[in-house]
Structure 1
Amino acid sequence: MIFCNITPQPSLQTFSLISYIPLFFFGFTCNVLAIWVFCFKLKKWTETTVFMMNLVIADILVILTFPFRLYSHLHIWDLGSGLCKSLMSSYFVNTYMSIFTITAIAFDRYLAIRHPLKHKGWMSLVKASAMCCILWIIFIIASILRILQSTDHTLYVCFQKDSKEPFNMTLIFVVGGFFLPLILISFCTGKIVMTLCDKEILDTREQYSTKKAVNIVISNFVIFVVCFLPIHVGYTIRFVAESFNASCYTLEQVDFFVHVATIIANSNCVLDSLCYYFAASEFRKALSRQKFT
């Protein structure tokens, strides 16, 4: 096994500095504002609200790791291995919690738009809450297993692999944690767009509302792919490179790509609160019209 001493490049440190500060500020502000709207401005909660609130909580918990991640890029990690593992565990749990909550929102929309009658029987506040609780339990257990597989020695870096040995569960997380949700979201998005585009348009106002709803669901899908596809491609490439004992130069380039892709993935925490805030009212309007046409 090749041992490589990979240190953060100065350009990566600069990019991290100019990325994580605004991501933390805008992400925290937008998500706290979303919680305020959900708790004090919405008169009635629905299962969609439960999913969106769950997404906001997961995103905030991811955002709270940003200052520590920035510290690890700019400084030798001297805050202890225990804190590092706790932060990485929190980041892991809440990142995949966000992915699966976005998937649940897409499926909820699909049922509401394509099968409004089944949606009433299949979805409820209790079922949505139970689904979120089950997801939390699954990913917390997965995070514990991930920690148990990690090496236990003095850390000088954090938020990156402390060993160049391939992580055995990488492909499980990549396929089960991203590509399967991607397939489901793609299916739901396609069906929703087809339904909204094929419905009979009665007036100009409805045409505008339907077009806006279509643009929103397509935008959400594009943001999901742009944010999460690069990082999971990076995980896969790193796993293959480490499995075949790639050169230190190759591992360094892959490591750089993973770091940049991680920043792109973390921007999803800011975009989520904006997209789903605007999406909520539009899809309630689209759903109400769908039921009576």
Structure 2
Amino acid sequence: MESTGGYLESTTPSMATSEDYSDYSDYYNNSIDAEPCDYEVHAVYFLPVLYSLFFMVGFLGNMLVLWVIVRGKLITNMTEIALLNLAIADLLLISSLPFLAHYARDTWIFGNVMCTLVLGVYYIGFYAGIFFIVLMSIDRYLAIAHPVFSTKIHSKAWGIFASMIIWIIAVAASFPELLYLGVEAHDGKHICNAYPKDENHNGVRSAALFKMNVLGMLIPLGIVGFCYSVVLCKLQTLHSPKKNAFRLVVVVMVVFFCCWIPYNIAAFLKALELRHILPSECELSKRIQLMLQATEAVAYAHSCLNPFLYVFFGEKFRRHLT
């Protein structure tokens, strides 16, 4: 059965646990060899429960963030606009979880339009969330390393302009997956698919995973790492009030990468398997499967953590909340 996308490799309906790789290509079967491989479909047991929990907590938490920002009129500069858009991006990603919770244990029942909408929203929300975190790190870097220039672009107008550019880039980064979204039928099951069903299937899937590693982790990590290495050096000479002003943004960055790096590693291994760079062994494939399922749950948890970070580390947020 087809997996739903580059970042949803383990959100797949349950099937018989003994399948022939040559029958079709999916997360559990990748046309690697002609021998049957018995898989324990762990996802069907814990992913629906976790996704439902993440949706409830994340939806309420991020709606609270939006309410506090709008009610408190906290949309005055680049950082606050980035936080607002980050909450919107998290809500987009979270909105797909109820559908994926059902899909993790059963066939896709929501039709072709919802398949396109749900996964399209997921991909765009995923990349937008990453890019807004990068924007916040650049904003903090400029405020410390180039304060004069920062005062010129730290305005609400520049924040809105930067946000529009980031949403456009997030949509662009979601291609080519957005081109292939749709429902296919296989063995009486309906599959919400994000890849072409032809001889290029595994090539497109592995390319999408490599793209996620580069655009969704390596480049953002490099930019954030550079920005905060400079920021931390500069902050050594500043007093604590100035340091506290950057604490929330730093915590948001650290939590994001802690949640998503493990999944990116597992996805990279999956891409190597699809490219036949790793040995075509059933046991290895099962280990990668389990890694993807476990790390995917950790990655999705990130979308409901940010509101708690704002409460515990954001002094301005707490003031307006109370």
Q: With structure 2 as the length reference, what TM-score do the two structures score? A: 0.74
Distance change in 2, residues 1:162/1:29 (3 Å)? farther
Partner of 2:202: 165
- The answer to whether the aligner puts 1:175 opposite 2:200 as a matched pair is no
C-alpha root-mean-square deviation of aligned residues, in Å?
A: 3.0
- 2:284 aligned to which of 235, 250, 259: 250
* One-letter identity of the residue aligned with 1:225: F
- The answer to whether the aligner puts 1:110 opposite 2:141 as a matched pair is yes
- The correspondence of residues 218-233 of structure 1 with structure 2, limited to 5 A, is 218-233=250-265
**Contact 1:213/1:279, CA 8 A, preserved across alignment:** no
**Contact 1:27/1:270, CA 8 A, preserved across alignment:** yes
**Contact 2:266/2:291, CA 8 A, preserved across alignment:** yes
- The answer to whether the aligner puts 1:131 opposite 2:162 as a matched pair is yes
Distance change in 2, residues 1:214/1:32 (3 Å)? closer
**Contact 1:216/1:275, CA 8 A, preserved across alignment:** yes
Q: Distance in 1 between matches of 2:243 and 2:139?
A: 20
**Contact 2:111/2:183, CA 8 A, preserved across alignment:** no
Query: SS in structure 2 opposite 1:95?
Result: helix
Q: Distance in 1 between matches of 2:254 and 2:74?
A: 31
Moved more, 162-171 or 151-160: 151-160
Query: SS in structure 2 opposite 1:74?
Result: coil
Partner of 2:267: 235
- Tell me by how many angstroms 1:153 deviates: 2.9
Q: Which has the higher strand share?
A: 2
- The answer to whether the aligner puts 1:196 opposite 2:235 as a matched pair is yes
Q: Distance in 2 between matches of 1:90 and 1:196?
A: 38
Q: With structure 1 as the length reference, what TM-score do the two structures score? A: 0.81
- Tell me by how many angstroms 1:17 deviates: 3.4
Any idea what the Cα deviations from partners look like across 1:243-270, whole Å, max 9, x if unmatched? 1072344333323322322221111111
Say how many residue pairs are matched.
276
- Tell me by how many angstroms 1:174 deviates: 1.6
**Contact 1:72/1:159, CA 8 A, preserved across alignment:** no
**Contact 2:79/2:136, CA 8 A, preserved across alignment:** yes
Partner of 1:61: 92
Q: Which has the higher helix share?
A: 1
Partner of 2:130: 99
Q: Distance in 1 between matches of 2:233 and 2:258?
A: 22
Q: Distance in 1 between matches of 2:74 and 2:272?
A: 51
Q: Percent identity?
A: 23
Q: Distance in 2 between matches of 1:127 and 1:109?
A: 14
Any idea what the Cα deviations from partners look like across 1:78-123, whole Å, max 9, x if unmatched? 2234422321121111011000101101111121233221101233
**Contact 1:170/1:235, CA 8 A, preserved across alignment:** yes
**Contact 1:197/1:210, CA 8 A, preserved across alignment:** no
